[in-house]
Chain A
Amino acid sequence: MSSAVAGTSIRRIVIAVTALFVLAPILLITYQSFLTAPFFDPKAQLSFWAYEFVFKEPDFWRALGTTAMLAVGMTAIAVPLGALLAFLMTRTDMPGRNILEPLLLVPIFLSPLVLAFGYVVTIGPVGFITVWWKQYLGNPVWDIYSFSSLVVIAGLTHAPHVYLYASSALRSLPGDLEEAARVTGAKPARVAMDVSLPMITPALLFSGVLIFFLGFEVFGLPLILGDPQGLLVLSTYLYKLTNKLGVPSYQLMAVVVMVIIAVALPLVFVQRLLLRTAQRFIAVRGKAVRTNLVALRAWRWPAFLLIAAWFFGTVMLPMMGLVLRSFVSSWGLGINLLDVLTLDNYVELFDDSEVVSAIINTLAIATIGGALSIGCYTMIALAQHRWTSAWVRFADYIVMLPRAMPGIVAGLAIFWVFLFTKPLAPLRTTLFAVWVAYTLVWLAYGLRLVQSALLQVAPELEEAARVTGAGIGRAMRDVTIPLIKHGMLAAWLLILLIFVREYSTAVYLLGPGTEVIGSLVVSRWGGGAVDIVTCLSCINVALISLGLLVALRLGVKLHG
């Protein structure tokens, strides 16, 4: 009896701590948004002043409008493209599918910020391609800093998210459904339109909402590509607001954050609802028989070239520019590439103590911090595991809330929490604060990784331990955890990749001792240090590629 009671109270404590961890930043933001001054200012009073101020700002409305248009635009590009990629990859005899398969997911793991840098140094006003184009062909026909470029780049880089859901829906589509249509007399294209597409509609709908939602979160792309033209979205507006009034304008930032959360939260719930519907569609499966692939005939190579072109434009082009730029001392019109090639950028990099500690900190937070985060996620997952209680339903909702907080918002909120809570204040300038913010931002994602590992454990394996005499805790320690070890390792690798990639979350926490690659490049780009930024970006990509290779080597599924 006592062990069961102890087990239950541990579960309750874990869930309560999680709730505190999630709710404290949100409550603080809400409170701050109703103050007339920063919360540490003794003159701060409760009022709607900040709301009135922000809602009267034309810039705010412009940023909101731009965000909405960006979200719609990138959804309109990413969903059809992602669905097409998925169809070609899973249902046709297109050549080179095995090579393309892992490559398609690469953009998900690359930092959009790094991609944006890559685009600027490749096809920006003085990018490699632009300069060569000017030399031989005259004025370029594109403008990287325009809104339409931003939309196209955001759409292309987000297509893999759609591909992920559409392809897994297509794969789990029972082959006999399509074969039944073929037998009845439908041609392959007809089958695709009448059977396959309707069957994966829930997955497409879900990924559409997901992309729209991500459109509200994007920070790196608009910061780099939109800023030079004064093009602001909500997240960059928030970032610029930091010094709007000359003094820290926390109350205004809090209002913008409230708006972002107010838009994102319903979208999170819609996604949850749609995902359930999508899974219901997948659940009705017949026998998993491999269908005959659709023969593309003359279209085989054009289809391959389409995907190759997409991959080249989205990954190769910016990456090649980035790598090249990191090996030249300067670049512009009339400069011969061979004259400026150098290794100095990398050599000088290591003279910059801030850069060195950023690299070390990034590695530490990704490996050790990632492991600690997985530890936390596992505890939360185990607290909910095989327990039917109102507490579990409560926890289900709580862990979704951080999804409505983009990295930059969560980083800001954690910064405030550390400022607000006196005992925590000394930790604010340490890597611990950054780790807390990372763990909060990726809570829902990491938890899902651990939970899907837990789902693989048959309940009777744990019950067998219980009947032979083990208490709940003992059964978890001796049976559940050993059985999910591999799942936890895979989850750690994925979280590690994501922590290396992360940039926006640490922006507000940036300071001596808390610098990570992501936040440092944001601040250095602002200072115009292109050499350092491109070198650091290359190092970032190299670390991620290494991690990806290890993950693929170990057979980790890249989608949780």
Chain B
Amino acid sequence: MADLAVDDLRIRLGGNEILKGVSLTLRRGEVAALLGPSGSGKTTLLRAVAGLEQPYAGTITVGGTKVFDGAAGINQPTEARGLGFVFQSYALWPHRTVSENVAYSLKLRGVAADVQRDTVQKSLDSLGLGKLGHRFPHELSGGQQQRVAIARALVYGPTVVLLDEPLSNLDAKLREEARAFLKELIERENLAALMVTHDQAEALAIANRILLLNGGVVEQAGTPQEMYNAPETLFVAEFMGSNNHIEGQIVGMGDGRASIRIGDHLLDGQARCAHDRVGQAGSAVIRLEGVHVIDGSNGGQNHVKLDLVTSMFLGHTWEHLFRGPGMTIRAHHDGPLSSGAHWLHLPSDRVWIF
């Protein structure tokens, strides 16, 4: 049984339909990432699960208990849902010390003072904050504040933890460390974690499952590998990874494959569009790392010859910009290239045609 289940949830804010029927399930030990552009409703969904936004239809079930049911009129207040929530800004209470921040939930539950103290200390120790209990939040670094926020959310042992862009307030270097730390913690504590992020790299790295939201609906849901390697729509393909996007005319289709004409070139690829699109305008999408620079063409399929416009050194690789009639293509390559025309291979199993 799922530890968190959301079914056909709908939210309207000030006359705007923010969520238009979103469903998801989540089990212990799993991290689901809510990914999407700003305004897609991902934060609203997270807040609705916590009871901080008011849906008008659908159901939310936490650990087998219905906490919201629009049809049955069930609507548990936030404090009765027993969830952990890590806010984007951490929302540490500035008038309480670290220990008091963490202990608050235990105090609310009437835990004896000495048990409180032990539990808080254990929790702080496990997060590497052992000696900081007496400090006030403003005396901590950003990374430490984040850990306090996590400790506060987990100290009373909720199974479901909600994280609102937990890494966005950390600087780039710290973010990668915190990412690994967070994933390890969730697996170790056997939590069901729902996390909002707008950073696809973060979602790919940390999540077992990604839900990509767009305009209040789930555009596609799946494992990070599925989302990255098998996008179902142009939106998903464009949102994940770095892409080349080439406009052309769809000229043929069949057997899960399609071909598209761009100027003089004909590209073959995986069909991601309906059959009746033949003859109409379409798009070919290929990831930057899918493009290969080849020494010369044997006249093979999906080989194109383009002029090198400029090159950028990225550290672990090079990115080259090529241009020809009707198409501009960026490609990763492990070394610099001489100026002039080069042959590129766009493998047909890595080209998606929408």
Contacts and interface: CB of A to CB of B under 8 A. Distances in A.
Contact of B76 (A1, A461, A478): A1
Given A471-B77, A471-B79, A463 B95 contact: no
Interface residues of B, number: 30
A469 B156 contact: yes
Interface in B86-118: 87-89, 91-95, 104-105, 108-109
Interface of B: 50-52, 75-85, 87-89, 91-95, 104-105, 108-109, 152-153, 156, 162
Contact of B105 (A458, A468, A475, A483): A468
Contact of B87 (A1, A464, A475): A464
10 contacts: A3-B79, A4-B77, A460-B87, A464-B92, A465-B104, A467-B50, A467-B79, A469-B109, A470-B108, A483-B93
Interface of A: 1, 3-4, 458, 460-461, 463-472, 474-475, 478-479, 482-483
Contact of A463 (B78, B82, B105): B78
A469 B83 CA distance: 9
Nearest to B81: A467
A464 B76 contact: no
Interface centre among A460, A474, A483 (most CB of B within 10 A): A460
A466 B153 CA distance: 11
Contacts of B87: 460, 463-464
Contacts of B84: 467
B79 A466 contact: yes
B155 to A, nearest CB: 9
Nearest to B88: A460
A469 B82 CA distance: 7
Given A464-B93, A469-B109, A478 B85 contact: no
A460 B82 CA distance: 17
A482 B85 CA distance: 22
A427 B342 CA distance: 97
A482 B93 CA distance: 10
Contact of B91 (A3, A461, A472): A461
User: Chain B at the A interface: mostly helix, strand, loop or mixed?
Assistant: loop
A479 B93 contact: yes
Given A470-B108, A474-B108, A464 B95 contact: no
Nearest to A5: B77
A458 B87 CA distance: 12
A221 to B, nearest CB: 45
Contacts of A1: 75-77, 80
A458 B89 contact: yes
A467 B76 CA distance: 12
A409 B218 CA distance: 61
User: 8 tightest A-B contacts by CB?
Assistant: A468-B105, A460-B91, A467-B85, A466-B78, A464-B91, A4-B77, A469-B108, A460-B87
A4 B81 CA distance: 13
A71 to B, nearest CB: 40
Contacts of B94: 461, 483
B52 A470 contact: no
Nearest to B162: A467
A461 B93 contact: yes
Contact of B52 (A458, A466, A482, A483): A466
Contacts of B93: 461, 464-465, 479, 483
A468 B80 contact: no
Contacts of B52: 463, 466-467
Contact of B156 (A460, A468, A474): A468
A469 B156 CA distance: 10
Contact of A3 (B77, B88, B152): B77
Contacts of A469: 79-80, 82, 105, 108-109, 156
Contacts of A3: 77, 79
Interface centre among A460, A465, A467, A479 (most CB of B within 10 A): A467
B63 to A, nearest CB: 15
Contacts of B76: 1
Nearest to B47: A463
Contacts of B78: 463, 466-467
A460 B91 CA distance: 6
A479 B92 CA distance: 10
A509 B77 CA distance: 48
Nearest to A471: B79
Nearest to A479: B93
Given A463-B91, A464-B91, A467-B81, 13 more contacts: A1-B75, A3-B77, A458-B89, A460-B87, A461-B93, A461-B94, A463-B85, A464-B152, A466-B78, A467-B83, A467-B85, A470-B79, A483-B95
Nearest to B164: A460
A471 B81 CA distance: 11
B152 A468 contact: yes
Contacts of A468: 79, 85, 104-105, 108, 152-153, 156
